[in-house]
A and B are shown apart, each in its own frame.
Chain A
């Protein structure tokens, strides 16, 4: 009995002694063995750029495709109420806002830590990418949190800044970034392959920054009070073509035919990594409007981008047939209509890079700034025409790549220009269309399903390409939905912006601007009806 007591006490004491004597140590088991708690700028940059490509190439592009008339709903699916009616809610396209801020925060971390670690090149990249992403947000939402944003728990209800002020600050930041790139200390370690857009070539980053700045200045070009400011800022831009993008600025982390590693647009609307069609492949079809924009102007890009009707039993087999958004009596099977070619110019392939900005856009922006209407960049109409032609050629090169060489695609472009020598929509000189209308129309054709959100912003800025009030028979000249329930007084009935997301309504209520309507609350640069 005595012995069993001893045994018992020994057992109990040893069990509790472990805990009482070294409690601090015993409880010190809360170090995360699964994830790293710090990361270098080099470890963060590739993902940040890849996420921008996901957001831009998939989310922004998808929204733009619906709103600016590239896509319409197929008969396979019943849905897309916001896209068809413009009856937006705060839940519509929330991901644009949330994913972009999430992405910008990573750039902010990169910017801060790169600066602290003596990596001004990486810091400049982060600055430029912040500006790129903030511009996208401003163009869809107007006033947004900026100066108080990205402060984590130290300010969880950031106030909203005026959109025009944000634009100004972004341009100042871009100026700073290009200056920093021009003055990089020789000792700065190279960025290298973690830059999955330009492979570490900082001069390309400077060109990208300049072109982005040009885009943002032109976007404000109709605001009367900003004319002097725009001229002053334009004067700081390079005087030669070489200062702007001459090749597509495209992200490619090494897209591969594997889960989560495919080109984001292709992964959503093309084929899965195993080669099967994606779920959403059949949900949208090209509009009559975009088919007509190519077809009516003898544009060979049509056949590179879209297939003709393949269903043998359809009387239109072999013809190009688009649909009208909100159109009636759509046939269920998508093979009754033209479709985006898998492996064509729009859904190029699983390994296609994601352009964040096309060379074509760079040329069209320069053409606009140089043309005598504005003459903000030197060169005049002659140089503007050269840029205009270069823009069209660059678009052909982009869409035909990789099926054809750049040279072959350029020959096609020149053929297109020759075929439209008297077509006022295409030919630089032929009236009565204005230079601006031609430039924006060509930009519209070039940005199709690649940079659709920019086409949508340019439409809102300029009203081009033209569209009419919808009727069941005018799909070729109107891209507005037949189901539009719009209070927009304009004939196009289109919305002019997105509503602030529900997440913001619930989390930042004191600051969110009130009384926002998707039909009347325009972005500050949208002043022409």
Chain B
């Protein structure tokens, strides 16, 4: 039906007098300029260019001249003559820079010059230059102060979006997402077609976003989708992209299977000999050095067959396990309309086969955006429906993680020969060499999670112009998300022969079905007033906002399957398990916003908002907060600067805002369920302790309950962030040099803290108001155009920088709390600690002397066995603070070279000033797979920077040896549980994007008659990653937990290795 509609509109367009088409480009970079108004001079007959700058216009025979105009560019007139194709490059208008329109809060358009706070707008072309599938990935490194952190790889990666550091100790710190004026859950980002997006405006701080109320302290991404245009056009595009593993941790290639410790070589101990014993079925790699001899691998099969192989390293096998991922994007969109009606339709299919064999992501996105003006009434609606299908290895733990099981496979094993686990006798679970872990190929086929998610996102917008200076607007929008997923593990019964050895146990399998849904409704009603009184212009907004959320999840679980290969709870042994949760919340707000401008160069803006929530007690559920800011265009105000040829534009701005956040923990009452999918609790029902069903109950007809472990302050209040910012925006030398700088300072107080309390109270956590966090930082943006020639050759270069430093000022006085753990369970954890940056990594370390040398103590093991005394370090009971886990310094770089239709663009990012913890390191040292575990050739060594006690003093160690086999490297007490061994700088430099695009000249296309634009784009993402030498492990961006978790900075083995992408995209507009 979509196709039918498009063809009929096309025919309509062709049936007119005379067609002129062409492409409007930005002279600065050669890229197509969308939204340029093309008019037949002296008439209202015109069109606007679409996303790649192309247009088509039907002109009467009498027409002689076309005008091209766009805000921020110098208008151009061009005689038509007999041409049927007119291409034009527009030059930026240095004087009208301040008139750039920014989509601000509530979707209300503002001139950039009015704004007393920092914003940045990224256009579609820039977001999509490297064909991202998640729009946020297209923003990485492009805006100062914005941190896009991809938490893992894989086919559907989670992305954490934060602005200006983190403020809330336990609440959400991620940016608010506003789509076409409507607040949406951040999950929506994964459901959007990036090609549908016209632009993203980043409101960096509380000052800009205050009008959105609770959570606006985190800043906001204002996403605006494309509208139709007056020139009908159809665009097809196709992208093919390849994904390739970029690096694995540094793995040793010298030693094979075995788990022996030195003591087991007794009584033949000889530090220089290699007496370790080869254990053919071991997962640990502390066996003898490779020697190429023919040996058995694994245990003999039941029929007596033995797998023999040359005992040597096969270093490429693990890499070869991973596929080259392939992603295909197909897009078709239609844009059309007339001066009263606009319509934009699009469809996108993304099919992504990941680097892990069998992982597939499939997304179909449909969008209809339409608007029509009926004289004073403006109507519009935007609807997007997105369907995601994700089929992947469960990757839930060490037994189901493909990455871990591949890097835990011995470098000797011919891993890729085990692909056919059904038929190859040495690849079946019974015949596989590793007694303790399964064949990774078996794992990926038998531990699956299949999910289907549907998103319906839409809004209806009605505006009515009451008078010249007053209008009312009503907008209701909603997000409906539904998820159905099934996670399972297959049942497998080992042979009696295989089980008799004692280590293998039948796998019972399980299946868990999840149904979850989330509905968020957002309603805005507001009145817009704009009136000038002489030199004074006043614009005001008064409005009401209502938010309503409903969410629900249900799980159904069979803990054991009756027979293999059927993944239904009908096929089960034992009881049917499951649970459910229902959640509701509401919020009602009133707001006002006032801007007073004086002579177009001085603007005072103030806003106020009152929120009332269902989440807190009646006494504390209402909050009011104000903001005020000032913008001063000094280049317009000071006569001497007005026509200065050096400085084109200069603004100073400053503001202060206070924003509340209803931070009630958004946790669901999850019992055994693996995941709750898209469901959210919104923080509902958190005030009262409740009784939950005791584990295992009901036993028969006996039901029983236990009290929850959280107690809540009866007086729980919202938390507040007060934010100050001041900055400047400058343009010099005919806008060849643009500079912006902002300093900000934020203080978040009265935080809602879920404090761990002594379990002797009867509870383990206590939710109360306490805590103060302070963030301060600087954002700098510099954009240069060193070369801009009349023949359209343009060279641009830009850089942005963000310094953010934060500190936990206090946590709680009663109870006296100076720290708050944000993660639990490992050797290093992420905390909030008073006086430290937030979040901060702390973990175990060695016992050291006063000069910082690791103290070694002599150990004779086994006692009196004739083994020379060996010296070991010890783990200290004091934990060490390693540093903050969010970068203090972030640098973004971008450059482009354009000539005619050819554009080469690149984007890079450097982050530094933080640390990360690599759980993967301790795991790989334990198994002996890491290069680190093969240090010193596994021979006794002198522990670096160590000392030992002689008499009463610690003396530098120059000759005492530490034994260098499994007894050290795999030992928790001496090595693997000492966190400082695996903490590295988080620094990285990544070439995020490189793209080379070429647009066919329209003279060429003009001859075809109906093709308006063709462009080809070759690109790569994450092509190059530089890491400091000490980071032998993985991408420091990776972090466990989900996108809203504050405990960032620890990566795990349940991830996929870092990858790079390269691809090509072809787009044609008709």
Contacts and interface: CB of A to CB of B under 8 A. Distances in A.
Contact of B506 (A1, A15, A257, A275): A275
A491 interface: no
Contact of A335 (B500, B546, B586, B703): B500
A257 B574 contact: yes
Contacts of A149: 760-762
A329 interface: yes
Contacts of B279: 332
Given A39-B705, A46-B702, A507-B815, A102 B766 contact: no
Given A50-B704, A332-B259, 13 more contacts: A8-B464, A20-B544, A30-B687, A46-B694, A46-B704, A47-B705, A153-B711, A253-B696, A276-B508, A329-B266, A332-B503, A471-B864, A503-B759
Q: Which 5 A-B pairs have the closest CB atoms?
A: A47-B694, A105-B762, A47-B704, A274-B508, A277-B505
A156 B696 contact: no
A52 B544 CA distance: 54
Contacts of B821: 506
B706 A106 contact: yes
A260 interface: yes
Contact of B502 (A4, A30, A335): A335
A503 B764 contact: yes
B574 A258 contact: yes
A429 interface: no
Nearest to A84: B973
Contact of B503 (A253, A329, A334): A334
Nearest to A89: B877
Interface of B: 259, 263-264, 266, 279, 281-282, 284, 374-377, 435-436, 462, 464, 472, 474, 476, 500-503, 505-508, 523, 525, 544, 546, 559-560, 573-575, 577, 580-582, 584-588, 612-615, 618, 621, 669, 672, 684-685, 687-692, 694-697, 699-700, 702-709, 711-713, 755-764, 766, 768, 814-817, 819, 821, 859, 861-865, 874-875, 877, 926, 966, 970-973, 977
Contacts of B615: 30
Given A81-B972, A503-B764, A472 B759 contact: no
A87 B973 contact: yes
A44 B264 contact: no
B764 A254 contact: no
A390 B720 CA distance: 69
Nearest to B493: A276
A240 interface: no
Nearest to B260: A329
A193 interface: yes
A277 B977 CA distance: 28
Contact of A260 (B669, B691, B695): B695
Given A1-B376, A90-B877, A259 B588 contact: no
Contacts of B711: 152-153
Interface stretch (A21-29, A201-209, A459-467): A21-29
19 contacts: A29-B614, A35-B669, A36-B691, A43-B704, A44-B706, A85-B973, A101-B759, A102-B759, A145-B760, A152-B762, A153-B757, A253-B702, A258-B574, A260-B672, A260-B696, A273-B560, A274-B559, A332-B435, A503-B764
Nearest to A155: B761
A38 B621 CA distance: 25
Contacts of B861: 482-483
A473 B953 CA distance: 36
Nearest to B543: A16
Interface of A: 1, 4-5, 8-9, 11-12, 15-16, 18-20, 23-24, 26-39, 43-48, 50-51, 54, 76, 78-79, 81, 85, 87, 89-90, 97-98, 101-102, 104-106, 108-109, 144-145, 149-153, 155-158, 193-194, 196, 253-261, 272-279, 281-282, 310-311, 328-329, 332-335, 470-472, 482-483, 485, 503-504, 506-510
A8 B472 contact: yes
A4 B973 CA distance: 77
A471 to B, nearest CB: 6
A188 to B, nearest CB: 21
Contacts of A48: 704, 706
A103 to B, nearest CB: 9
B665 to A, nearest CB: 14
B560 A329 contact: no
A5 B464 contact: yes
A38 B472 CA distance: 49
A9 B696 CA distance: 57
A312 B588 CA distance: 75
Contact of B585 (A29, A43, A471, A485): A29
B760 A504 contact: yes
Contacts of A482: 861-863
A329 to B, nearest CB: 5
Nearest to A90: B877
A36 B279 CA distance: 55
Contacts of A20: 544, 588
A363 B435 CA distance: 47
A494 B954 CA distance: 28
Nearest to B436: A76
A45 B690 CA distance: 16
Contacts of A101: 759-760, 762
Given A4-B374, A78-B284, A32 B685 contact: yes
A29 to B, nearest CB: 5
A108 B762 CA distance: 9
B691 A259 contact: no
Contact of B815 (A19, A79, A157, A273): A157
Contact of B282 (A27, A281, A332): A332
A143 to B, nearest CB: 12
A276 B505 contact: yes
A148 to B, nearest CB: 8
A409 to B, nearest CB: 28
A56 to B, nearest CB: 15
Contacts of A277: 505-506
A504 B612 contact: no
Contacts of A46: 694, 697, 699, 702-704
Contacts of B377: 1, 4-5, 8
Contact of B575 (A9, A158, A193, A258): A258
Contact of A79 (B764, B877, B972): B972
A486 to B, nearest CB: 12
Contacts of A333: 501-503
Contact of A29 (B505, B584, B814): B584
B973 A81 contact: yes
Contact of A328 (B613, B685, B695, B862): B862
B685 A34 contact: yes
Interface centre among A97, A101, A334, A506 (most CB of B within 10 A): A506
B508 A153 contact: no
A27 B612 contact: yes
Contacts of B508: 272-274, 276
Contacts of B875: 89
Nearest to B692: A35
Contact of A102 (B712, B713, B764): B764
Contacts of A483: 861
Contacts of B464: 4-5, 8
Contacts of B756: 503, 506-507
A506 B697 CA distance: 33
Nearest to A273: B574
Given A46-B704, A106-B707, A275-B506, A31 B815 contact: no
A98 B702 contact: no
Given A11-B462, A37-B691, A277-B505, A156 B757 contact: yes
B761 A254 contact: no
Contacts of A5: 376-377, 464
A20 B507 CA distance: 58
A282 B503 contact: yes
A47 B612 contact: no
Nearest to B377: A4
Contacts of A253: 696-697, 699, 702
